Amino acid sequence: MIELRTPAQVEAMRPAGRFVAEVLVALREAAAVGVNLLELDELAHRMIKDRGAESCYIDYHPSFGASPFGKVLCTSVNDAVLHGLPHDYALQDGDLLSLDFACAVDGWVADSAISVVVGTPRQEDLDLIETATLALEAGILQARVGNRLYDISAAIGDTARKAGLSVNLQFGGHGVGRTMHGDPHVPNDGRAGRGFKLKPGLVIAIEPWFLQSTDEIYTDADGWTLRSADGSRGAHMEHTVAITKDGPLVLTDRGGLE
């Protein structure tokens, strides 16, 4: 069921969005050659505890997960692009790292993701991150009252195709509110002008993710991490966005933190 939030409820979601943004900025600054993925997860865990927030991940066990997630952060490296389960791995020079984080503050959830290169970058990795960033921005621009849901999807998909990338439709954006995942599903491609009309109070996570040379994925032996079928690298960008009468409001905006 699609739920619409009142203006007061959207305002009440701001602290969660800001905190998620703060955590991602701290994680990006901490991600360096030699840093272990478990150290990043522990940093996020400490920040959650200090803030009095609640993790959306640690007990998360959807049908596609092998077991409860058990960590508070998704860390996807190189050919991993989504749901990366933190494990004993020290980041290496040139790694492409995606960080996905969601938590609740005062009962309201926010969800966001970034991709960064650790150490010396490859140009193709920077290009992939740039495409995912542009796709996110294009999707957000379409998150306006009177537009339709697939206007967001089409903007994301068009950006991918212009960069020569294909799009996987198995995982995409979603509703956000009292829980991390709700209706509607927001696919990363679609035909503009279709889907329900966007109304004030709809809060969604918009999250384009792309792989360099495929749209096929498989689940790692850990039961969670999603990897490219051909070993190519992936990038993932995400913001929680509220649709308001004044335009899209990016609740997880990192402005002033970077």
The response to whether 174 counts as a known ligand-binding position is yes
Looking at the DSSP assignment, which residues form a beta bridge with residue 131? none
CB 106 within 8 A of CB 19: no
Give Cα 256 distance to the centre of its chain: 20
The packing angle between helices 7-30 and 37-51, to 10°, is: 140
In whole angstroms, what is the distance from residue 99 CA to residue 24 CA?
Answer: 7
The response to whether 238 counts as a known ligand-binding position is yes
CB 22 within 8 A of CB 103: no
Give Cα 120 distance to the centre of its chain: 24
8-state DSSP, 122: P
The response to whether 111 counts as a known ligand-binding position is yes
The response to whether 79 counts as a known ligand-binding position is no
The response to whether 83 counts as a known ligand-binding position is yes
In whole angstroms, what is the distance from residue 68 CA to residue 46 CA?
Answer: 20
The response to whether 258 counts as a known ligand-binding position is no
The response to whether 207 counts as a known ligand-binding position is yes
Strands (E), the chain: 54-55, 74-77, 80-82, 96-105, 108-117, 173-175, 182-186, 203-206, 209-211, 217-219, 226-228, 234-236, 239-244, 247-250
Joined together, the tokens standing for residue 145 give 């009252």
Among residues 103, 109, 112, the alpha carbon closest in space to that of 49 is found at 103
Give the residue ranges of the annotated binding site: 83, 100, 111, 174, 181, 207, 238
Give the residue ranges of the annotated binding site for a divalent metal cation: 100, 111, 174, 207, 238
Give the residue ranges of the annotated binding site for substrate: 83, 181
